[in-house]
Chains A and B, each alone.
Chain A
Amino acid sequence: MHTETNQTISRVAEIIIDELKLEDVTPQTFDPDLDLVDEVGVDSMDLATVALVLRDEFGVRIDEDDYPKLTTVRIIAQYLDDKRNESE
């Protein structure tokens, strides 16, 4: 489970970096506990874009009401892993 989450964290970080064109950061150096709204400057449209790419990648639908909870890469990764485990 721990490895699974670490892999998910890395992939989520990669998607966020790619979609939001973040510079000077890699999936390896992206702090998974960084607050995406307060410290990265992500807004609702950015998050909706990321959510669509994550939907494609992980086959998990992210409820609009859950957006506000998804404040860090680690929380997003955990959310995705939980949803996938629920559906198994």
Chain B
Amino acid sequence: MTIIKEEYTFSEILANPKIKERWQKVRRYFFLRESTYDMSNRCNIRCQGCYYYVGDKQFARENRDEQAWRHLLHKEKERGITFVVLAGAEPSLVANLCRVCYEVIPLGAIATNGLIAIPADIDYRIHISVWGNDRTSEKVRGAADMLGRQIANYQDDPRAVFIYTFTPDNIAEAREVTATLADCGQSISFNMFSAPVGYQGPLRHTADSLGKTREMMAELLADYPQNVLFSTYNIVAHTEPQGLHDLFSCSYPRSNQSTDIGLGRSFRQYRTDLQWDREAACCVPDTDCADCRHYAAGSAVVTARMYRHAVDPETFSAWLDYVDTYLAVWVRGYEKGQNLCNSYIHPPVKKQ
């Protein structure tokens, strides 16, 4: 009979050599301090349900002055930012500004639709958004032959990670897209459509679509372990009926009043006019917090909850898998390890 302890000490959890090794591997990256930057208010396509074109940020004046950006990034570095995420609306339209950011803060990621290649000297992680097969992309994003053009732009490019956003309408076709990407040697990770504030369209997930997405993610993770950067705990965290905020208490300033420590203290979300607003600051502004299962949000929100996951070896292993995945997806040069926990662990609640 296996005796399961009610609670382990941290040193007992780390007594497992595999857990200790992974813990030591991921904790070397605890120095990462993130902020995000809208680079341009223009985009070469227009996707249904895009959070950029909701709210006020889309109307911010676009600052294209390289010196102004360089000055901002130096200021960011001075206040401790070590990792930048360049997004909204389409950063590839202003590659020169992305280069300025890279020259000042060399760790970061760029979120792009992948239709315009970002020059190789900007050595950030490149996240290329995929919303289904080409038929679906043409319908939802209004662009033809997307996947082929994205792959051509980033063939054999070690910066590239394709991010497949699951909606209720594209769950089944994730298999053909993943197969195509795997055939081309590409890495892929998963995102969940998270409704912008006020959005009531068909892309909002339902209980049924969450369940089906969970099954498809598990199949793809099992079938393409060399290409799919994900873990069982990632699947759990992003397909539970509750969103990330309800499960983990979002720590971005928009949901967190504390300015004492962590994201509430350091995170800013700059708009194209280089201004930021604490009330709107999170990695996916104007997303409905109750529906947020976004991969970028999870990377910070789940990762920040280390303490509550350190209750037993299995739960802590699940958390380590999540952090290992986050680092592999976001940080150039970080190699993902084999997942430690393949069981479905329910996210632990905060203990008093």
Contact = CB atoms under 8 A, between A and B. Distances in A.
Most buried by B among A37, A43, A49, A71: A43
Interface residues of A, number: 23
Interface string A33-72: 0000100011111111101110110000111100111010
B135 interface: no
B259 to A, nearest CB: 9
Contacts of B304: 44-45, 48
A49 B261 contact: no
A68 B260 contact: yes
Nearest to B352: A63
Contact of B306 (A42, A49, A53, A63): A49
Given A43-B262, A67-B260, 12 more contacts: A37-B260, A46-B30, A47-B261, A48-B304, A49-B27, A49-B30, A52-B10, A52-B307, A55-B10, A56-B9, A62-B307, A64-B350
A48 B306 contact: yes
Interface size class of B (residues with CB under 8 A): 20 to 34
A37 B259 CA distance: 11
Contacts of B350: 63-64
Q: Which 3 A-B pairs rank lowest in CB-CB distance, beginning with the nearest?
A: A44-B262, A68-B260, A52-B10
Nearest to A46: B30
B212 interface: no
B262 A52 contact: no
Contact of B261 (A55, A63, A67): A67
B203 to A, nearest CB: 33
A64 B248 CA distance: 11
A62 B1 CA distance: 33
A21 B308 CA distance: 24
Interface in B248-268: 249, 251, 258, 260-263, 265-266
Nearest to B29: A45
23 contacts: A37-B260, A37-B261, A41-B80, A43-B30, A43-B261, A43-B266, A44-B261, A44-B263, A44-B304, A45-B304, A45-B306, A48-B306, A52-B307, A52-B310, A53-B10, A56-B9, A56-B10, A63-B350, A63-B352, A64-B308, A67-B260, A67-B261, A67-B262
Contacts of A67: 260-262
Interface in B79-137: 80
Contacts of B258: 68
Nearest to B304: A44
Contacts of A64: 249, 305, 307-308, 350
Interface in A3-41: 37, 41
B5 interface: no
B33 interface: yes
B306 A61 contact: no
Most buried by B among A45, A67, A69: A45
Contact of B30 (A45, A52, A68): A45
A44 B306 CA distance: 10
Contacts of B251: 44
Contacts of A43: 30, 33, 261-262, 266
Nearest to B23: A49
B2 interface: no
A12 to B, nearest CB: 16
Contacts of B265: 37
A56 B11 contact: yes
A71 B265 CA distance: 14
B109 to A, nearest CB: 19
B175 to A, nearest CB: 36
A37 B305 CA distance: 18
A24 B352 CA distance: 36
Interface in B224-268: 249, 251, 258, 260-263, 265-266
Contacts of B80: 41
Contacts of B11: 56
A4 to B, nearest CB: 22
